[in-house]
Amino acid sequence: MESQQRRGAAVDIAQGFITITPNDTSVSAKAQIPQLNTLRNSWTETDPTSAPAKVYNKIGELTKHTYTSCGDSLDEVLNTILVTDNFKEALLAIVKNQKGEAVKPTEDEIATALINSAEPAGTTQSQKLKDKILNTLVPKLTEGSRSQVKLRTLEYPGEIQISTLAAIQKLKTKVETEASSKSCPQAVATNQAQEEFCNAIGDANKDKCNNEKQCSYDDSKDRSKKCKFDVEKAKAKGATVTQAQTRGTETTTGNCKGKLQK
């Protein structure tokens, strides 16, 4: 009991959904999701080879990891992670087939198609990607239910963690190893990254290029890349622009001072 008091009591965040338990040292703590453990222990699937069971088992493995949060709510954590370039790679790793699986589950195909259709490059795309994810139909992997609903409509903690928090856990573990500061990870966009994003839209999609607030379509000259990064347009539209001065960039906000390493 004395030892527990010295370490400090557990702190609930995210409306009690996540519990942070301090360790022996003042700078270390573990995050646990009690509802997740309870659900994993109580949920059973009669046919372990079915797609829902495979997906659930994958997520169950992810619950063994712990992570620290840059925010106290699910949305804060999502917003922090979705600005990183690691999102697509990390989420695809979660839905990747396990070795030896003969059939790719439908749930995997849905998630893969979602990420492949998104455009996560640059901080201006983070909200678009988040909206795509939250509006995606996902299985309600709860006992007695095999229906599909939009991710944003899930309310029961078990449903939310199955469809969202497991991915966040994996991403946090991956992202934090690449962060260069003790603050929450924050991607810092560069003009080069914005240029690459505009170029990737391609020469055949003029309307899409011009609809992006940092891109402009220029076919006045014989160019290999007609969709280009437009600094002046980006400034006018409020997009992130790297300054030329040696004082750095204007992309870091709030208390998040970390810059991801490439």
* pLDDT tens, per residue, the chain with 262 residues: 334 444 556 766 655 656 666 655 545 555 555 555 555 555 444 455 555 555 555 544 443 333 333 444 444 445 544 544 445 554 555 445 445 555 554 555 555 555 555 444 444 445 555 566 666 665 554 445 556 666 566 555 444 444 454 555 555 555 444 443 333 333 334 677 778 778 888 777 888 888 888 888 888 766 677 888 888 888 877 665 555 433 333 443 344 333 333 3
Three-state DSSP at 179 gives coil
- Please indicate, yes or no, if residue 74 is contained in any of the structural domains: yes
- Please indicate, yes or no, if residue 158 is contained in any of the structural domains: yes
Residue span of the structural domain in which 61 resides: 2-176
Domain co-membership, 40 together with 96: yes
Domain co-membership, 214 together with 123: no
**In the chain, which residue ranges form alpha helices assigned H by DSSP?**
2-7, 34-42, 51-62, 74-81, 87-95, 106-117, 126-134, 157-160, 166-176, 191-201, 206-211, 231-237
CA–CA separation, 214 and 194 (whole Å): 7
- Please indicate, yes or no, if residue 185 is contained in any of the structural domains: no
Q: What is the pTM of this model?
A: 0.24
**pLDDT score of 135:** 64
Domain co-membership, 143 together with 76: yes
Domain co-membership, 159 together with 71: yes
Domain co-membership, 205 together with 171: no
The number of distinct structural domains making up the chain is 2
Domain co-membership, 122 together with 55: yes
**pLDDT score of 249:** 38
Domain co-membership, 128 together with 220: no
**pLDDT score of 214:** 83
- Please indicate, yes or no, if residue 142 is contained in any of the structural domains: yes
Domain co-membership, 159 together with 98: yes
**pLDDT score of 37:** 56
- Please indicate, yes or no, if residue 9 is contained in any of the structural domains: yes
**pLDDT score of 226:** 81
Domain co-membership, 197 together with 142: no
